[in-house]
Amino acid sequence: MAIDISSIRTLGEKLKNNLGKVIIGKDETIHLTMIALLCQGHILIEDVPGVGKTMLARSLARSLGCQFKRIQFTPDMLPSDVTGVSIYNQNTQEFEYRPGPIMAQIVLGDEINRATPKTQSALLEAMEERQVTVDGVTYALPQPFVVMATQNPIEYEGTFPLPEAQLDRFLMRIDLGYTSLGNEIKILEQQQLVHPILELDPVVSVDEILEAQKAVKHVHVSESVKRYIVEMVRETREHPEVYLGASPRGSLGLFKAGQARAALLDRDYVLPDDIKFLAPYILAHRVMVSPAARLSDVNAMKIVREIVNSLAIPGGEFSGR
């Protein structure tokens, strides 16, 4: 299959420009979001309130013309509040499935760490297998399907830390951070009369995204880059300050995300620089730091960056030509 890389880059530019009308001055965050979308990955956005986490998810859905649902997680939520329930219909004398908010293409899980582990586990099957099972019956989720979950890293009262199995299902963890002074003034001016998201139109169709998702799988990854990915992930498991390293799902995430980034940058092959750029976002949340290291103020992001900087970059031919 011939890959039309230029069309993927054009698609990415249209999406980036459209999202940039609402998410001001966050080009890198938008770039990472598009990478996750192209390799069918889920995103965990960890940041303080008010920096645009919800707006990013809503803007992405509007830009694609996708069905958007928001789940506001609370401690009293049940798994059925996420997946849906079967209700007995007296007229037909049969049980009917009433879909939950997970049945959408772009799903925002707001403050996901406020739900109990039991409710959080309702997302596991959906995120990995893109289906939900209710009362023994399995229902396929619509395509594309992306979960964008948010959590506040400051407030811990009334929260439940995400289990490792849940974290591992997120392709990447990102943060938006505060914007610059000039961009914050621009935000004030843009929202004086009406919020720009209300004027956001779809610029990319669902069919185009699905075709792009298929196309990026054909981006070439050389043997040396594959080895580079696996060695990097293995280093997280052998690091002396790590209690639990990244899983093979982390290797696969780096592999797929590298293909997506290469396509967005108009290349049909992955470079080591793609992997170096993506590694902190894809591996850090999969690494569990040892208790002794935490006492020394060592965090997972610092460890991953240390590994990336210390690992030898492969040389040779990457394009496969």
85-99: pLDDT as tens digits: 988 888 887 888 899
In angstroms, the CA 200 to CA 100 distance is: 26
Q: Report phi then psi at 199, rounded to 5.
A: -105, 10
Could you tell me if 259 and 269 are in contact, meaning their C-beta atoms sit under 8 angstroms apart?
A: no
Separation in Å, CA 110 to CA 51, 74, 163, 302: 13, 9, 17, 27
Sign of CA pseudo-dihedral 241, 275, 177, 112: negative
Could you tell me if 235 and 246 are in contact, meaning their C-beta atoms sit under 8 angstroms apart?
A: no
16-42: pLDDT as tens digits: 999 989 888 888 999 999 999 999 999
Structural domain spans, the chain: 220-321
CA 57 from chain centre, in angstroms, equals 10
pLDDT, average across residues 217-238: 93
Could you tell me if 123 and 168 are in contact, meaning their C-beta atoms sit under 8 angstroms apart?
A: no
Placement of tokens 């779809």 in the chain = 202
- Is the pLDDT at 271 greater than 50? The verdict is yes
116-167: pLDDT as tens digits: 888 888 888 999 999 998 888 899 999 999 999 998 877 666 678 888 888 8
- Is the pLDDT at 250 greater than 90? The verdict is yes
Q: Which CATH number fits domain 220-321: 1.10.8.80, 3.30.70.920, 3.30.1180.20, 1.10.620.20?
A: 1.10.8.80
What region, left, alpha or beta, does residue 245 occupy, with left being phi > 0 and alpha being psi -120 to 50 degrees?
A: beta
- The model's pTM is 0.89
